[in-house]
Amino acid sequence: MQPLRISLVQGATRWHDPAANRDYYGERIAALKGQGDLIVLPETFLSGFTNETLGNAETMDGEGLRWLREAAAAAGAVVTGSLVVREGETCVNRLVWMRPDGTQALYDKRHLFRMAGEHERYGSGRERLIVELNGWRICPQVCYDLRFPVWLRNGYDRAEERFDYDLLIVVANWPAARRHAWRTLLRARAIENLAYCVGVNRVGVDGNALAYAGDSAALDFLGEALVDLGAQEQVVTVTLDPAALAAHRQRFPAWMDADAFELRL
**109 belongs to the catalytic site:** yes
**120 belongs to the catalytic site:** no
The β-bridge relationship of strands 90-98 and 225-228 is unpaired
Residues ≥6 apart with Cβ < 8 Å to 62: none
CB atoms < 10 A from the CB of 203, how many? 22
In three-state secondary structure terms, 104 is: strand
**33 belongs to the catalytic site:** no
Catalytic-labelled residue, pool 43, 58, 118, 197: 43
Residues ≥6 apart with Cβ < 8 Å to 77: 7, 32, 36, 37, 38, 39, 100
Rounded to 5°, angle at Cα 87 from 82 and 92:
35
User: Quick one: DSSP state of residue 157?
Assistant: E
Catalytic-labelled residue, pool 91, 118, 139, 143: 143
Residues ≥6 apart with Cβ < 8 Å to 108: 92, 93, 94, 95, 123, 124, 125, 126
CB atoms < 10 A from the CB of 18, how many? 19
Q: Is 161 exposed, middle or buried (0-12, 13-18, 19+ CB in 10 A)?
A: exposed
Catalytic-labelled residue, pool 91, 109, 118, 197: 109
Please list the active-site residues. Answer: 43, 109, 143
